[in-house]
Structure 1
Amino acid sequence: MKSIGFCKVVALIASTAIVSSASMASAREIAVIVKTVNSTYWQNVQKGAQSALKDAPGDQLTFQGPASESAIADQVNMVENAVNRHVAGIVLAPSDPDALVPVVKKAWEAHIPVVVIDSPLADSGKGFYQALLSTDNVKAGQLCAKALIDRIGSTGSIAVMSYIAGAGSEIGRVGGFTDYIKAHSSLSIVGPFYSQSQMATALNQTTDVLTSHPDLKGIFGANEPTAIGMGRALEQSGRAGKVVAVGFDGNEDLQNFVKNGTLAAIAVQGSFQMGKLGLETVVKLIDHQKVAKQIDTGVVLVTKKNIDSVDAKNVLY
């Protein structure tokens, strides 16, 4: 009887250990760290990531980002803290291609899988993350340039309102735009001007550009807060609809600018999809499944004509 009782105790202890182990294994933290929490674009990425949790029961998501995209040191600290608390995986939208490399290397050394979204790391960091999910920003920039040329022709001057100099997405997006303009037109380019992803800064910069360049034919706003500031400056100056404007991203403000003709078009990334696929990809990596190294999450050019289409509604937020 004592022997049977002892066996029962051992079995109970073993059973408890298995349950505890399973509970611990299922309570995996996945850190989603974006460029800033103060943007509907990144909030839509968060919604996408949260939606993917339905297929990852037990996993926990933490969502962080600095107060602004230019607070690069704050983002580095967030990634470092995630590594130090031994999260199961990281989904990262790096604000700077170089500054984030050392801390992503720390994650790699700690065997924590990293999925990079939106903007690439520098080439020196390519070996330290397992997947990149992003818009092909060069192609997206080219799409915006073509949209502008189609509407204003190939002569005159245009302005480029950009955001963070040196950010991976900015390099591809604005580079693709300006290269296409130079290759396919005789348009002269004013700028780029860098708003630091601050709407108020973009508004003031655009107002100054419109004042100093009264013959400006077109203007490009390269991300959400910059394009919003640009649109407001056009409206306040009475130049809305007179200067052909193309923006980037697709929140409610930008949709309204398209509907009322302030913006001729907006290039909209699949931000929800980026968050959803980012989380799904890191879960696969945690579970030791193979994933593609690079995934293009696409872009849709939205105009007044197609804003109510299925394709547009799938990306607008």
Structure 2
Amino acid sequence: MNRILAGVALLGLTAGAGWAQTNTYGVLMKTLANPFWGAMEQGVRDGAAEAGIEVIVQAVESDQAAEPQLNACNAMLETPMDAFITAAINSTILLPCLKRANEMGIPVVDLDGNLDHEIAAQAGVEIAFSIGSDNVAAGAQAADWLVSQIGAEATGPVLVIEGLAGNITGERRAQGFADRLAELAPGLEIVARLPGDWDRGKAANITNDVLTAHPDLVAIFAANDGMALGAVETVFAAGKQDQVTVIGVDGNSDAVRSIRDGRLDASVAQLPYLVGKQAVENAGRVLAGEEVEDFIYVPTLVLTKDVLEAGTEPLLEYVR
């Protein structure tokens, strides 16, 4: 347990500024316009209902609205809370606000692993724990699946569409994919790694440009499902759906529909519902003075049409 949390437990308080336990958690998401975050919000609310906790949930209009998210963070701290669960748009934007939360004695939870613990510590922020999927492992899992489909001897160009430039989540997914692909199938060459800014339309345009330059493209890895679906649109428009394998990450509801329809080939499901639910559960353990790991990883699952139609995978229970 870090120094702030130990001090909180010692004083018998669960939040700062001298107020007593409120039985309320603040939850700052990215954007609820993305089904991934909508599923995580539902997990948060279900976990809170089971624990008898009230939650105040806020989100901004897009996962690029960094300054508005900082403003929302500061505004939320005007309301008494026992814990603050935050999904930062990037690894630095919320640090001044989260430092303030620490100074108020409020434990900070890093939702979906968007904060770098070393950078946070340098800014004077102590993170109670990070929870999410192992993004490097998720990218590697996508490469594993791709090679299982097209073979370790496959050759040809591959496109990687990253997230917002500077976003640690997208960078880790892309790097995990690239490293594992080089290890398993050295004949598959990543010819472009471009930021799609989590935007479906931008990813579609990137795919169009890369397909023009590399008409023999064999695969696309996109760091989230929205971008993967944009890539799929371009691949189908070019009539290359039988040539290009497209893989996303998140396992959101739009991706599940596309996979069932035979369009998107696969998505590494991050199980955001389970992430949200377990974030609330583990925040309660922190407040009770229990030991919690610094990094809590929720399992991932490669969703394909076969997996969805079989319906036998236990983790499908958490796919939303």
Report the CA distance between 1:312 and its aligned residue: 5.0
Which residue number in structure 1 is paired with residue 197 of structure 2? Answer: 196
Structure 1 residues 38-47 or 231-240, which shifts more?
231-240
Which residue number in structure 2 is paired with residue 167 of structure 1? Answer: 167
CA RMSD between the two structures = 2.0
Give the match's secondary structure for 2:62: coil
| Contact 2:247-2:265 within 8 A present in 1 as well | yes
Change (3 A) 1:290 1:312: closer
The alignment's TM-score, normalised by the length of structure 1, stands at 0.86
Moved runs in structure 1, 4+ residues, more than 4 A? 24-27
| Contact 1:231-1:257 within 8 A present in 2 as well | no
Structure 1 residues 248-257 or 168-177, which shifts more?
248-257
Q: Which amino acid counterpart does residue 97 of structure 1 have in structure 2?
A: S
Which residue number in structure 1 is paired with residue 158 of structure 2? Answer: 158
Separation in structure 2 between the aligned mates of residue 276 and residue 312 of structure 1, nearest angstrom: 14
- Matching of residues 244-263 of structure 1 within 5 Å: 244-263=245-264
Report the CA distance between 1:83 and its aligned residue: 2.2
- Matching of residues 87-106 of structure 1 within 5 Å: 87-106=81-100
After superposition, the C-alpha distances for 1:268-298 in whole angstroms (9 at most, x for unaligned) are 0121111111112223333444322221111
Which residue number in structure 2 is paired with residue 113 of structure 1? Answer: 107
Separation in structure 1 between the aligned mates of residue 20 and residue 251 of structure 2, nearest angstrom: 38
Separation in structure 1 between the aligned mates of residue 194 and residue 119 of structure 2, nearest angstrom: 28
Separation in structure 1 between the aligned mates of residue 231 and residue 41 of structure 2, nearest angstrom: 26
Separation in structure 2 between the aligned mates of residue 124 and residue 221 of structure 1, nearest angstrom: 26
Which residue number in structure 1 is paired with residue 181 of structure 2? Answer: 181
Q: Considering only CA atoms, is the larger Rg found in Structure 1 or Structure 2?
A: 1
Query: What percent of counterpart residues are identical?
Result: 27
Unmatched runs of 5 consecutive residues or more in structure 1: 1-23
| Contact 1:101-1:121 within 8 A present in 2 as well | no
Change (3 A) 1:211 1:315: farther
Give the match's secondary structure for 1:84: coil
Unmatched runs of 5 consecutive residues or more in structure 2: 1-18
Separation in structure 2 between the aligned mates of residue 241 and residue 311 of structure 1, nearest angstrom: 30
Larger fraction in helix? 1
Give the match's secondary structure for 1:147: helix
Which residue number in structure 1 is paired with residue 129 of structure 2? Answer: 131
- Matching of residues 260-275 of structure 1 within 5 Å: 260-275=261-276
Separation in structure 2 between the aligned mates of residue 229 and residue 311 of structure 1, nearest angstrom: 29
Separation in structure 2 between the aligned mates of residue 138 and residue 314 of structure 1, nearest angstrom: 24
Separation in structure 2 between the aligned mates of residue 277 and residue 29 of structure 1, nearest angstrom: 16
The alignment's TM-score, normalised by the length of structure 2, stands at 0.85
